[in-house]
Amino acid sequence: MGFGLDHRFTQKNLSAYLDGQLTDREQERVERHLAECTDCREDLATLRSTVDLLHAMPPVPLPRSFALPASAEKERGRYRFWRRMHTMLRTATAVASLLLVLLLSGDLAISLGFVPLAKRTAETASEQTLVETRVVEAPEAAEAYVPTPSPTAAAKRTEANGVASAPPRKGAEEAVEKEAPELAVERPAGDVSSQRVPTQTAEAVEPQAGVLQHERALEAPKTQDTPTATLHPPTPTASKPPTPTPTATMTPLPTREQPPAQPTRSPYWTIWRWLRTGWLALTGLLLVLAAGLLWTWQKRRLH
């Protein structure tokens, strides 16, 4: 072993050597080096003097007793309560964070299409429901976007939607024209509300990617439950004269006779909903608790 290495080792362990904290082997190494290094010997001597001085430091007498008063017991109870609260908050925060991570992961998986939120078992029945809904909307949509729709164009569109939808559409148009001709004439072409309602509902019914679209798709059958109310509303401007004509648009549709096929919700959907609700509840609770703690702490600090 070289002189430099021994020198560094000795310099590093001079205090331990003084205090007898080295192993026999280390002690021998230090002593061997000390015998041949003047610097290290001087260092050792001055360090020993310093230690002697420190040992000679007078102990400081106690100014008073530090015994605790009996009231400390009360304070201990309070401290334990706050400590429990702190532990609870910490655990709740950890759980909330975990839930948030799960929620975000689930959201991502759903939006990427890895996890189906709903599976349609009665495919054909569901299709039919959609077609029927469009049939109901078709005349108004045609009126809204094409001021003077040619019968051939309307017929073509109806054919595109499905053959089964053709007769009801015609019937509906005839009913409107027969029983409320003034309604069809007086309806303003630029009435935005009357144009938008069916269009938006139609959009909602159409299947799209993403969570919101899935949700809308799931909620679509609910909107179909009241098609006469939402899809066929005679606009307030259109029904100015209080004639019984609106009843014409409220005629029951053939779709009412058989209930629409409900899409079956997958178990992922339920888990996701529970996860979301749980996270929201926990975060709310945490916020309330944190606000309470902050308020109490401020109050205690002021006193």
Partner 1 sequence: MDEAQIIEIAQQGDVEAFNQLVRSHEHLAYNVAYRILGDYDRAMDATQDAFLRAYKALDQFRGGSFKAWLLRITTNCCYDILRAKQRHPSTSIDDLVENAEHSRILEDHTESAENGLMREELGAGIQRGLDTLPYDQRVAVIMVDIQDMRYEEIAQVTLVPLGTVKSRINRGRKKLRDYLLEHRELLPEKFRPRYESGKDG
Query: Applying CB under 8 A, which of residues 8, 15, 88, 113 lies at the interface with partner 1?
Result: 15
Binding status of residue 27 toward partner 1 by CB under 8 A: no
Q: Cα–Cα distance between 14 and 92 in angstroms, integer?
A: 52
Q: Count other Cβ atoms within 10 Å, centred on residue 279.
A: 20
Q: Which stretch binds partner 1 (CB under 8 A): 42-50, 218-226, 280-288, 291-299?
A: 42-50
Q: Cα–Cα distance between 177 and 171 in angstroms, integer?
A: 10
DSSP alpha helix (H) spans, the chain: 3-18, 24-36, 38-55, 72-111, 123-145, 151-161, 166-179, 181-186, 192-205, 211-224, 227-230, 246-249, 267-302
- Residue 7 DSSP SS3: helix
CB of 67 to partner 1, least distance (A): 4
110 contact partners, CB below 8 Å, separation of at least 6: 117, 211, 214, 268, 272
Q: Which of residues 48-87 bind partner 1 (CB under 8 A)?
A: 49-70, 72-73, 75-77, 79-80
CB of 71 to partner 1, least distance (A): 9
CB of 66 to partner 1, least distance (A): 5
Binding status of residue 267 toward partner 1 by CB under 8 A: no
Q: Cα–Cα distance between 43 and 19 in angstroms, integer?
A: 15
Q: Which stretch binds partner 1 (CB under 8 A): 41-49, 104-112, 197-205, 249-257?
A: 41-49
Binding status of residue 208 toward partner 1 by CB under 8 A: no
CB of 87 to partner 1, least distance (A): 12
CB of 20 to partner 1, least distance (A): 10
CB of 77 to partner 1, least distance (A): 8
> Cα separations (Å) of 233 from 147, 185, 188, 236, 277?
18, 16, 14, 9, 35
Binding status of residue 24 toward partner 1 by CB under 8 A: no
Query: Applying CB under 8 A, which of residues 7, 9, 13, 162 lies at the interface with partner 1?
Result: 13
Binding mask 142-181 for partner 1 (x = CB under 8 A): ----------------------------------------
Whichever of 65 and 124 has its CB closer to partner 1, that residue is 65
Binding status of residue 34 toward partner 1 by CB under 8 A: no
Q: What helix, strand, coil percent values describe the chain, rounded to 5?
A: 75, 0, 25
* Cβ contact 213:207 at 8 Å: yes
What CA dihedral angle connects 122, 125, 126 and 131, to 10 degrees?
A: 160
Binding status of residue 300 toward partner 1 by CB under 8 A: no
Joined tokens for residue 192: 């935005």
Residues binding partner 1 (CB under 8 A): 12-16, 19, 21, 42-43, 45-47, 49-70, 72-73, 75-77, 79-80
